[in-house]
């Protein structure tokens, strides 16, 4: 990822500055929670309303009582990344509870806000270099689309390469369908259509993905959520990845296949960032 880590990180837990979390938090014990990662430019978090709305929706999917948008806004004011660039993370867990999977009393949630003052590198002009991951995502419709804290599949997939030779990996599911990148959603442009995999069996339905689909449609583009084979990606006129922090980036190569020039990506990136 084109991010430099700096030690400048602030964290609020339930609105209070804190660097540590109770050890009985169900986020740790079971991955029982959800999160969002946002880009902050000059103190302003991008796509804030959409991010908070998606977090609220993900909470509902897991039966978590989502914090109010006003509460997140108050946290944002408190953490005050004034005029700073960086990455903001919003995270909700089901709080602490007695031992065992059984849900603690309703309304028991804990919210965390992280702000990392990091400098984002300029978008790489040459495009991203991708590989195909060996790991196949399992199907779990009950969790599909949600950015929850059970991310071991992503960790294992990302651990498949350690070199800087590749920027991202393509994730397939157990039926060999393309789902996404390890850290991004994927779009292909082919025959004047914008295609992206359905996220109803596995994968995360990112905010940048939803935003791009909406905006491209509004500009008259034929956008389809569909089953996508790896061959369809290789055959694409252009391949692009979306991520809330890094925006839209085009893919320069996937394994031995190369795409030399941008086709539609500059226009889509402009719409997405508008």
Return residues touching a second copy (CB under 8 A).
Answer: 1, 3, 5, 9, 11, 13, 18-32, 35, 62-63, 87, 91, 93-94, 98-103, 112, 114, 116, 118, 135, 137-140, 142-143, 148-159, 162, 174, 182-183, 202
Nearer to a second copy, 161 or 271 (CB): 161
What's the min distance (Å) between Cβ of 105 and a second copy? 11
CA–CA dist 19, 9 (Å, integer): 9
What's the min distance (Å) between Cβ of 224 and a second copy? 25
Contact 10, 115 (CB under 8 A): yes
For residue 167 the two structure tokens come to 């920027």
Nearer to a second copy, 60 or 156 (CB): 156
Choose among 120, 126, 67: nearest CA to 243.
120
Helix 69-79 × helix 48-61 angle, to 10°: 130
For residue 36 the two structure tokens come to 């969002």
Contact 229, 173 (CB under 8 A): no
Nearer to a second copy, 94 or 188 (CB): 94
Nearer to a second copy, 144 or 188 (CB): 144
Count of all residues that appear for the chain in the document? 274
What's the min distance (Å) between Cβ of 10 and a second copy? 10
Nearer to a second copy, 83 or 152 (CB): 152
CB neighbour list of residue 207: distance below 8 Å, 6 or more residues apart? 36, 47, 50, 51, 54, 244
Nearer to a second copy, 150 or 190 (CB): 150
Choose among 146, 158, 149: nearest CA to 182.
158
What's the min distance (Å) between Cβ of 248 and a second copy? 19
What's the min distance (Å) between Cβ of 147 and a second copy? 11
What's the min distance (Å) between Cβ of 69 and a second copy? 22
Rounded to 5°, the CA angle 117-269-258 comes to: 105
């Amino acid at each position: 990822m084109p991010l430099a880590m700096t030690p400048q990180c602030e964290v609020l837990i339930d609105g209070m500055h804190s660097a540590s979390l109770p050890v009985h938090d169900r986020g740790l014990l079971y991955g029982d929670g959800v999160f969002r990662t946002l880009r902050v430019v000059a103190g302003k978090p991008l796509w804030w309303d959409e991010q908070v709305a998606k977090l609220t929706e993900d909470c509902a999917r897991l039966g978590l009582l989502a914090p109010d948008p006003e509460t997140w806004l108050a946290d944002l004011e408190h953490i005050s990344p004034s005029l700073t660039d960086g990455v903001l993370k919003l995270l909700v867990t089901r709080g602490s509870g007695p031992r065992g999977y059984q849900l603690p009393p309703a309304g028991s949630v804990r919210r965390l806000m992280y702000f990392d003052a990091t400098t984002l590198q300029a978008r790489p002009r040459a495009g991203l270099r991708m590989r195909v991951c060996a790991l196949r995502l399992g199907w779990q419709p009950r969790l599909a689309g949600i950015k929850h804290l059970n991310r071991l599949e992503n960790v294992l997939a990302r651990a498949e390469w350690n070199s800087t030779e590749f920027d991202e990996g393509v994730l397939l599911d157990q039926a060999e369908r393309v789902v996404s990148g390890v850290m991004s959603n994927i779009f292909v442009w082919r025959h004047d259509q914008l295609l992206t995999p359905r996220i109803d069996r596995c994968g995360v339905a990112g905010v940048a993905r939803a935003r791009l689909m909406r905006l491209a449609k509004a500009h008259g583009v034929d956008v389809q959520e569909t089953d996508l084979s790896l061959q369809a990606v290789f055959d694409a006129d252009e391949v692009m990845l979306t991520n809330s922090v890094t925006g839209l980036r085009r893919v320069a190569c996937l394994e031995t296949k190369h795409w030399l020039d941008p086709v539609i990506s500059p226009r889509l990136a402009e719409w997405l960032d508008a």
